[in-house]
Structure 1
Amino acid sequence: MSEFDQYNTNQIVEDDKNHFLHPWQYFDSFKEEGALPIAKAEGAYIYDTDGNKMLDAIGGMWCTNIGLGREDMVEAIADQVRQMAYANPMVDMTNIPAGQLAKKLAELAPGDLNHVFLSCGGSTAVDTAFRLIHFYQNCRGLHDKKHIIARKEAYHGSTYAAMSIGGKKADHVKEFDYITDTIHHISTPYYYRAPEGLSEEEYTDTLIKEFEDKIEELGGAGKVAAFFAEPIMGSGGVIVPPKGYIQRMWETCKANDILYVSDEVVTAFGRVGHWFASEDVFAIQPDIITSAKGLTSGYQPLGATIFSDGIWDVIAASGKGRYFAHGFTYSGHPVACRAALKNIEIIEDEKILEHVREVGPYFQQELEKLVDLPIVGEVRGKNFMICIENVANKQTKELFAEELDIGRWITDEAAKRGVLVRPIGHLNVLSPPIILTKEQVDHIVSTLRESIEAVMLDLEKQGLWSDLSKSA
């Protein structure tokens, strides 16, 4: 008898359809298809309620960094629950794991980022940064310095402020409202689709000029409070910025007294081979770093907003009776903080960052070989954060018709073969657990090749696309 015989998959799917509103749920298709019920996870693999085993090349949601089902994580979490499952975090109370984690994050973060606000995830970490920025500028007496600049196609979370800061067109559906008077967006640093003939350096020049022009348009440096940027854009398509872009944007912020917020919810805790990407990959010292996901490897919900001594010195100085009227019931939750501490310990003890710097380039290199396929326009990313951009015409970079949902088509073919990849429109994104072996990498790459070839064959059979290389 299988351990999965206990599950009635049809009933689970039906109950879920009737009662659970999912993030990003499509109401029409979901009503018919429902969701895939996951019952078990071990390492890089997940199992549905029918016992089907799949290699999770999505990594949960960019987050299951050390792999799932680890007994050492189970024991650490259980021990903390036995000792103390909850403690009030407000005002003048704390708990041991929260204090220990804040200290550890200050040690790992670059430069003088020595202060930490703990929340419940990436969205709340970004919302906290947003409120902290306004608090800081008001404490300075700069009450007009309120405008926020971010990028088109950036993703920063789904709470009200975080979604407003994000610039993904597909996420800004008309049925929701957004902050539009003080939050503004500039171009995505997307060199693959840059104007023809521009070198990376020239393209970067145009992006810097656009940023400087936007500052002036908003009334100058005295009006702009902060700039938000993912070091490598995640859900917007794993956009790796062109050479010099991140550093020059940071320098522009410094020159204009604009806070630089590095959203490392995805890139931190090993995904690109370092604790944080800001300094180690892009050589900048942000004023604020937001993080979550790999902070606990998905074992507990937790977010961290890490900020500089410079901000702290302003908000904590003078102003008798001043207090930070922001927080959550679960800020610094002891069980989540204990999970984060154990997660960091595992990454250190097992030298997982070194593993990523060894196997990550192999993952990237092998996936890049898929560009020999007629519909793969570009493979981009860094280490265990990769995107495949599918196009109908490699010469013109023309996209497939949106209704074909080419990314989903490829994802479905890969799922039939036991590998889960994430579809985002015409893209397929991979963010697997960062403990993958080279053998697992090979399995993902060969499965994707078979899946893309199967989709191309179906497209040709249905008269939806033709391989131009055959007639060349």
Structure 2
Amino acid sequence: MTTQDALARSDINFQLHSYTNAEQHRVQGPCIMERGEGIYVFDTSGKRYIEGMSGLWSVALGFSEPRLAEAARRQMECLPFYHTFSHKTNVPSIRLAEKLIGLTEGRMAQAFFTNSGSEANDTIVKMVWYYNNALGRTKKKKIIARHSGYHGVTVAAASLTGLPYLHKDFDLPLPQIRHVRCPHWYHQAQPGESQSAFADRLAAELEAMIVDEGPETVAAFIGEPIMGAGGVIVPPETYWPKMQAVCRKYDVLVIADEVITGFGRTGHMFASKPFGIEPDFMTLSKQITSSYQPLAAVLINERVASVIAHHSGELGTFGHGYTASGHPVATAVALENIAIIEERKLVDNAARVGAILQSKLRALADHPLVGEVRGMGLIAAVELVSNKDTRASFEPAGSVGAKVVKQAQDNGLILRGIKDSVAICPPLIISEAQVDDLVGCLKQSIDAVARAL
């Protein structure tokens, strides 16, 4: 038995995988990655792949960036761990909190660190409840999220997520969570409805839900500036200002989940800015360390921070935290990661090379299987349809998308199928020539599936 076969057998026997059909995995087995270099990863057989999803929307600097490894080594040797409980902290977490607040240009006031975006959104739910209890608004606890939105997998975060497979047989969502329509004009618009009119209708639907539930019971609205795992859904230009205006009318807090869009992904440091979002909370993770270390951050504005601080004084403590909150190694890596993003002007690269990616992907729109191409910067999706005129999806849903993703992987390109949308999210360091390779491989893969169909 080869080493590769032994590893595969061990994996099948002993590891339960995330978002995987565990029964099928026992037959299919894993693709085992061994090393990475730039935008590429290599499996144990030596095959090279373009990592067209940045791992999980997250490896901004690509794989094997030596400066991040060195930052982790230095911090490991200096102070490998310390916590942020009981008036204690460490130097990297202080510096990172200051850096993050600076990057928001003063819109946010304080940072709270967690290990993942799921934990961060779970923390925000608790903070929202804590905030309203502090103000004596003990009924104002409901949080409105969106169908197809993605906010994590913990009990509260999975409840916010608007995808059925995160709820089914997990006894979710929690009773305090509601969901409104996904802002996907391509599929959700009424005949002849403009994008602006569609945004008006969604804002009216949000307002109707708040009024129906009772404004005194609705605490917050959460959304990603651009939906990621729900299919890379880019909302109409006027959507966020209109949704936000409804929230302000009823004193509903606004939560911007920037786990995927933060740190340059859209060609802006944070996507809240171009979409006109002025959040009370921001969720950051993934590209904060290029996923070289597990880390996430909750950013809160002064309005929220001052209430939390005062109420913790009344109670004697803010009774929430994690062992690894503000972990010195993770925060040291984050600081170096952000420094590299700024030094190498990777936000500008995402805007410039991202425009080329979007243009080349939109050139696929005439393909008989392609219904819609959408995205911004270095995040995009190509949606495959069975009928371009009616925009009808394939049956069963996801069957053709899965075929294209598998064909692409066979061709040396890793993408992600979301139903019949193929998501693309390469590292921020990708070059124009590498974009050509990525899009060329994707087109070949779609063509191969089209011939087979």
The TM-score range, normalised by the shorter chain, is over 0.9
Secondary structure of 2:354 counterpart = helix
Secondary structure of 1:222 counterpart = helix
Q: 2:49 maps to which residue?
A: 54
Q: Cα offset for 1:412?
A: 1.2
| CA distance in structure 2 between the partners assigned to 1:404 and 1:190 by the alignment | 17
> After the TM superposition, which residues 8-407 of structure 1 pair with which residues of structure 2 at under 5 Å, given as runs?
8-173=3-168, 175-193=169-187, 194-219=189-214, 221-279=215-273, 281-317=274-310, 319-402=313-396, 405-407=399-401
Number of residue equivalences = 451
The two structures have a TM-score, normalised by structure 2, of 0.97
Using the TM superposition, name which of 103-112 and 62-71 deviates more: 103-112
CA change 1:452–1:342 in 2 (3 A) is same
Q: Cα offset for 1:86?
A: 0.5
Q: 2:415 maps to which residue?
A: 421
Unaligned runs of 5+ in 1: 1-5, 460-472
CA contact (8 A) 2:156 2:174 kept: no
Per-residue deviation, residues 363-395 of structure 1 (Å, max 9, x unmatched): 111011111110110010101110111001101
The two structures have a TM-score, normalised by structure 1, of 0.94
The one-letter amino acid paired with 1:272 is T
| CA distance in structure 1 between the partners assigned to 2:163 and 2:315 by the alignment | 40
Per-residue deviation, residues 214-261 of structure 1 (Å, max 9, x unmatched): 001111x21110000100000001110012001111111111111000
Q: Cα offset for 1:24?
A: 1.1
Secondary structure of 1:85 counterpart = coil
Aligned-pair identity (%): 38
Per-residue deviation, residues 295-336 of structure 1 (Å, max 9, x unmatched): 001110000000001111112126534321111111000000
> After the TM superposition, which residues 409-448 of structure 1 pair with which residues of structure 2 at under 5 Å, given as runs?
409-448=403-442
Q: Cα offset for 1:403?
A: 6.6
| CA distance in structure 2 between the partners assigned to 1:264 and 1:403 by the alignment | 28
Secondary structure of 1:278 counterpart = coil
| CA distance in structure 1 between the partners assigned to 2:186 and 2:374 by the alignment | 10
Secondary structure of 2:178 counterpart = strand
CA contact (8 A) 1:110 1:285 kept: no
Using the TM superposition, name which of 248-257 and 258-267 deviates more: 248-257
Per-residue deviation, residues 25-52 of structure 1 (Å, max 9, x unmatched): 2022111001110000111000000100
Q: Cα offset for 1:179?
A: 3.3
| CA distance in structure 1 between the partners assigned to 2:402 and 2:175 by the alignment | 35
Secondary structure of 1:428 counterpart = strand
Unaligned runs of 5+ in 2: none
CA contact (8 A) 1:402 1:425 kept: no
Per-residue deviation, residues 428-472 of structure 1 (Å, max 9, x unmatched): 10111011101010011111111101001111xxxxxxxxxxxxx
Per-residue deviation, residues 195-227 of structure 1 (Å, max 9, x unmatched): 2110111111110110000001111x2111000
Using the TM superposition, name which of 226-235 and 196-205 deviates more: 196-205
Q: Cα offset for 1:160?
A: 0.6
| CA distance in structure 2 between the partners assigned to 1:164 and 1:171 by the alignment | 8
CA contact (8 A) 2:237 2:275 kept: no
Secondary structure of 2:310 counterpart = coil
CA change 1:156–1:85 in 2 (3 A) is same
Per-residue deviation, residues 329-360 of structure 1 (Å, max 9, x unmatched): 11000000000000000011111111111111
The one-letter amino acid paired with 1:213 is A
Secondary structure of 1:320 counterpart = helix
| CA distance in structure 1 between the partners assigned to 2:316 and 2:267 by the alignment | 40
Q: Cα offset for 1:169?
A: 2.3
The one-letter amino acid paired with 1:329 is T
Secondary structure of 1:104 counterpart = helix
Secondary structure of 2:255 counterpart = strand
